[in-house]
């Protein structure tokens, strides 16, 4: 994977992502949107600690959705509880971009 940028909206915070440094932290899947957000000081709620047990880390992938890891059935089940769910909704603890393009996510 190559370096890429991820922008968090509505904060308009863009961070440079270096996949060679994954995992950044211990929350969510290594290289997940949540892992990246927390490491770079982006406030993203995550009540269950990134264990697919809630939907509080819900984000909407506005750009780069097709570069993200496949959604599991556990993630799909939890997203049913997400407020403001759209076709581009993901749990940030499970969503791992592949780095093939820059990504923009909206925190509802």
pTM over 0.85: yes
pLDDT value for 23: 65
Residue range 77-99: mean pLDDT, rounded: 95
pLDDT at 8 over 80: yes
Share the mean pLDDT of the chain: 93
Domains of the chain: 4-106 (3.10.20.30)
Half-sphere exposure of 11 toward its Cβ, with a 13 Å CA cutoff? 17
Q: How far apart are CA 105 and CA 73, in angstroms?
A: 21
Q: How far apart are CA 90 and CA 61, in angstroms?
A: 7
For the stretch 31-64, pLDDT in tens is 999 999 998 999 999 999 888 999 999 999 999 9
pLDDT value for 27: 80
């Amino acid at each position: 994977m190559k370096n890429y940028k991820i922008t968090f909206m509505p904060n308009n915070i863009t961070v440079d992502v270096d996949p060679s440094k994954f995992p950044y932290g211990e929350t969510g899947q290594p290289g997940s949107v949540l892992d990246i957000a927390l490491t770079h000081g982006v406030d993203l709620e995550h009540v269950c600690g990134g264990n697919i047990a809630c939907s509080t880390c819900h984000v909407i992938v506005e750009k780069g959705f097709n570069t993200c890891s496949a959604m599991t059935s556990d993630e799909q089940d939890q997203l049913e509880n997400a407020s403001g769910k759209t076709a581009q909704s993901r749990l940030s603890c499970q969503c791992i971009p592949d780095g093939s393009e820059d990504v923009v996510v909206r925190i509802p």
